[in-house]
Structure 1
Amino acid sequence: METLAIAVLAFFATGYFVLAGADIGTGMLAPYLGRTDHERRLVIASFAPFFLGNEVWLIATAGVLVGCFPDLEGELLTGQFAVLVPLLTGWIVRDVGLWSRGRGPGRRWRAFCDGAVVCGSWTVALAWGWLLAAPLTGTPYERAGGPTAILIALAVAALFAAHGLGFGMLRLTGPPYERARLLVGRTGPWQSFALTAVLLGALPLLAGSALPLADEAADGATLALLVPALLVVTPFLVAAQVWTWRTFRHRVTRPSYL
């Protein structure tokens, strides 16, 4: 059961980084991709149908960690509290900006919400890099510091941005698409997206390999109850994600209500 629990945790964490990395990266580059209010609405419309469904994968990851690895979750929460605060703050600020953008009057309001989306996206990306720096440098229960942590945080944020560019090439049209293509170069949109997806998906796997997951797993009775339930729920989560991507597979040609 411990092996299955670890596999489920790895699956959810990898799914979150690959899927949510797309909308986080696109949000990071919104000022570059969209130079006008209309273009920024196109950029936001490119990932608006996906971001809530993508965040479910993070909630599922946290749920598996709390339920199947409670001692490890407590140790990580205590040691990485200073990193989790900006991560959650950026997440909230970003989502508030997305939800509020189309509900206020005037361009100044929309510009303010756009700033919240961009700043929140950058904060989330950098915080993930800072958080991953700890297990990647061999100190999973302590906040990472020093030049190495800074370099890892910046590299992870750059990877999020590159993933967002590939996603933008798949979804955008007009000038925003051309700006994304300019940075991606001659690489096709699916090739670019697939490459960054593999790299982003490898991050939680590498970080997880530095954690004593098997030693910190819950007792057998708890795992015998939780793991089968997770295996039943997982296909529905995957099916919902497939439905979302299939439904919104076409390029964005006009702004959404956001």
Structure 2
Amino acid sequence: MEMIWFILFAILLAGYFALEGFDLGVGLLLPLLGRTRESRDRMVAAIAPFVLANEVWLVAVAGALFGVYPLLEGEVLFKLYPLVVAMLLSWVVRDAGLWFRRRLDGARWRGFWDAMIAFGSLGLSFGWGMAIHAAATGFETPVVHPVGIMLGAVVTLLFAFHGWTFLAWRTPGTFGASRSGRALAVSALVAAVPALGMLVGAMPYLLDHSAPPATLNVLSVMVLPFAPIVLGAQIWVWRTFRPGKDAFRLPSFF
């Protein structure tokens, strides 16, 4: 049972990096590719149908982490407290930008919230790299560490590349390139590499610190029946909003 839940946790974390990675990547690219108001609107419209569905993976990762590996809760929240707070604030700021940017039409209003989207995306991307480094070293190194900073930069660049590939797939030619679904799948795998690398290194530790078998059995009964529903919803989103399907429509909530 410990191995089954480790595999599920790995799928959830890698899935979050692969899916939310392009959302954050588009946010990172907003100041670079969004030279005009129209181009920024199109970039946000491209990711709008996927954002909430992708964030479900983060909720699932957090639930699995604290349910399957309860001993890590203290490690993550205590030793990484400043980083966790910074990442949560970045998440709030990024989502607030997505929700509020079109509530008013003023250039300053939109410019401010567009900047918040980019800033929040940067904070989350960079923070994930630093968190992966801390987890890979058993939370024994300082939160701000040269290798952690370097890994934060790497994750940020990978997410930016993934976001660019997503835009080239979702809105072919609009931002100077066109990419196939296969290319998007490859960039998703590349974006998930840091998370997968950390999990491979941390596998013995995680297996040794899993919750008791009785707890894992209860979690299996409570959680696993809902997995097909979540997967089906994700497939529906991707089939409904594939390229050419309302790629430039601006949802009212964004």
TM-score (norm 1): 0.90
CA deviations over 1:40-89 (Å, ceiling 9, x no partner): 10000000111111010000010011111111222222111121111111
Partner of 2:191: 200
Establish whether residue 104 from structure 1 lines up as the match of residue 95 from structure 2: no
Partner of 2:27: 27
Which of 115-124 and 222-231 deviates more?
222-231
The offset of 1:173, in angstroms, is 4.9
Partner of 2:45: 45
- The residue type equivalent to 1:172 in the other structure is T
1:121-200 equivalences under 5 Å are 121-136=121-136, 138-173=137-172, 176-178=174-176, 181=177, 188-200=179-191
- The residue type equivalent to 2:80 in the other structure is Q
**Whole-angstrom CA distance in 2 between matches of 1:90 and 1:234:** 28
Establish whether residue 226 from structure 1 lines up as the match of residue 225 from structure 2: no
Partner of 2:114: 114
Sequence identity (%)? 37
**Whole-angstrom CA distance in 2 between matches of 1:46 and 1:194:** 17
The alpha-carbon distance between structure 1 residues 253 and 216, as it changes in their structure 2 partners (threshold 3 A), is same
**Whole-angstrom CA distance in 2 between matches of 1:12 and 1:40:** 30
**Whole-angstrom CA distance in 1 between matches of 2:66 and 2:182:** 36
The alpha-carbon distance between structure 1 residues 206 and 228, as it changes in their structure 2 partners (threshold 3 A), is farther
- The residue type equivalent to 1:157 in the other structure is T
Partner of 2:88: 88
The offset of 1:116, in angstroms, is 0.7
**Whole-angstrom CA distance in 2 between matches of 1:163 and 1:209:** 22
Contact 2:171–2:243 at 8 Å: present in 1 too? no
Partner of 1:55: 55
The offset of 1:135, in angstroms, is 3.1
The offset of 1:155, in angstroms, is 0.8
Q: CA RMSD in A?
A: 1.8
The alpha-carbon distance between structure 1 residues 92 and 26, as it changes in their structure 2 partners (threshold 3 A), is same
**Whole-angstrom CA distance in 2 between matches of 1:46 and 1:143:** 38
The offset of 1:101, in angstroms, is 1.2
**Whole-angstrom CA distance in 2 between matches of 1:246 and 1:190:** 12
The offset of 1:254, in angstroms, is 4.3
- The residue type equivalent to 1:253 in the other structure is F
SS in 1 for 2:49: coil
TM-score (norm 2): 0.91
Which of 113-122 and 202-211 deviates more?
202-211
The offset of 1:239, in angstroms, is 0.8
Contact 1:80–1:141 at 8 Å: present in 2 too? no
Contact 1:4–1:227 at 8 Å: present in 2 too? no
SS in 2 for 1:217: coil
Kindly tell me the number of residue pairs found equivalent between the two proteins.
249
Establish whether residue 15 from structure 1 lines up as the match of residue 10 from structure 2: no
The offset of 1:232, in angstroms, is 1.2
The offset of 1:229, in angstroms, is 2.6
The offset of 1:153, in angstroms, is 1.0
- The residue type equivalent to 1:238 in the other structure is L
**Whole-angstrom CA distance in 2 between matches of 1:141 and 1:239:** 40
The offset of 1:143, in angstroms, is 3.5
For structure 2, list consecutive stretches of 5 or more residues without a partner in the other structure: none
**Whole-angstrom CA distance in 1 between matches of 2:186 and 2:21:** 13
